[in-house]
């Protein structure tokens, strides 16, 4: 494939994404700190940070200080996931942004318990992927996780990311070895995956109790 006319792509911007089941807003600690801490902070939510490189956090001030330091150091663009009632449900970030290569990662994905296994959770990933591919013209969207995190691995594949391999002894995190599993969607796959998301997210796919009628089918048969 010739990329003779390739040019670096824009960096993901701090912007709001509107969906059917909620919206994503750029992180603003003044507006979002209390809500994020309610779904992700304190001892009750400690398990959500098991495979994260930081956390858990006790106290809103510590949460903002430590997460913001990591975010600034790594250049993350963090999106806060909000339901139709204005309740903060979780967050995810654009990270490992490589404009020259047209590549970015969705990472630091933290779905509060009430967000997990919902249409809004799926829509949040879709909105971020659609922005990267359709608006910014990126070639690659990555998902990577601790190889021991089976829930994250299953989520990556459900969301349409293809497993690429594992970097062994990749990091030392919280005093433990971390092998890192890598997944991606590339631009040639995106039109098919986008159609699968759009079909699944259609309100006609949910019954009167909100249960899905058919599963998200991002993989080719």
> Mind giving me the DSSP string for 10-76?
PPPPS--EE-SS-EEEE--HHHHHHHHHHHH-SGGGGGGGTTSSS---SSHHHHHHHHHHHHHHHT-
Model pLDDT for residues 134-172, shown as the tens digit of each residue: 999 999 999 999 999 999 999 999 999 999 999 999 999
CA dihedral sign of residues 199, 24, 151, 70: positive
Alpha-carbon distance 139 to 188, whole Å?
Answer: 8
The three-class DSSP label of residue 81 is: strand
Where are the domains positioned within the chain? Answer: 17-205
Give the per-residue pLDDT at 221.
54
121 confidence band (pLDDT: 50, 70, 90): very high
pLDDT tens digits along 53-103: 999 999 999 999 999 999 999 999 999 999 999 999 999 999 999 999 999
CATH classification (class only), 17-205: alpha beta
Residue 85 CB contacts under 8 Å (≥ 6 apart), including other chains: none
| Confidence at 219, pLDDT banded by 50, 70, 90 | confident
Collapsed DSSP state (helix, strand, coil) of residue 132: helix
Which residues share a beta bridge with 166? 181
pLDDT, residue 1, reads 77
Average pLDDT of the chain, as a whole number? 96
Q: Please state the pTM of the whole predicted model.
A: 0.96
Work out the average pLDDT over 99-117.
97
Taking each helix axis from N to C end, the angle separating 119-130 and 190-201, rounded to the nearest 10 degrees, works out to 150
Inform me whether the pLDDT recorded for 123 exceeds 80.
yes
Over range 170-199, report the average pLDDT.
97
- What are the distances in angstroms from CA 116 to CA 29, 68, 135, 152? 23, 24, 27, 12
Residues 91, 36 contacting (CB under 8 angstroms): yes
Sheet holding 77-82, edge to edge: 17-18, 23-26, 77-82, 88-98, 103-111, 140-146, 176-186, 162-173
pLDDT over 90 for what percent of the chain?
A: 95
CA atoms within 13 A on the CB side of 115: 29
Predicted local confidence at residue 110, as pLDDT? 97
């Amino acid at each position: 494939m010739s990329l003779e006319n390739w040019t670096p792509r824009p960096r993901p911007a701090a912007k709001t994404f509107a969906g059917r089941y909620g919206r994503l807003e750029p992180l603003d600690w003044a507006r979002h700190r209390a809500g994020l801490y309610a779904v992700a902070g304190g001892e009750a939510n400690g398990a959500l940070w098991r495979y994260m490189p930081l956390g858990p956090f006790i106290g809103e001030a510590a949460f903002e200080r430590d997460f913001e330091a990591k975010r600034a150091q790594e250049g993350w663009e963090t999106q806060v996931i909000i339901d139709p009632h204005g309740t903060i449900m979780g967050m995810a970030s654009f990270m490992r942004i490589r404009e020259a290569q047209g590549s970015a990662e969705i990472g630091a994905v933290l779905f509060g318990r009430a967000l997990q296994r919902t249409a809004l959770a799926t829509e949040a990933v879709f909105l971020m992927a659609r922005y990267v591919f359709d608006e910014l013209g990126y070639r690659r969207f990555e998902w990577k996780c601790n190889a021991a995190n089976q829930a994250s691995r299953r989520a990556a594949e459900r969301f349409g990311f293809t497993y690429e391999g594992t970097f062994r002894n990749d990091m030392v995190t919280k005093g433990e070895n971390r092998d890192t599993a890598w997944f991606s969607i590339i631009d040639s796959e995106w039109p098919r995956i986008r159609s699968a998301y759009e079909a699944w997210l259609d309100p006609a796919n949910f019954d009167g109790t909100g249960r899905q009628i058919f599963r998200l089918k991002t993989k080719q048969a």
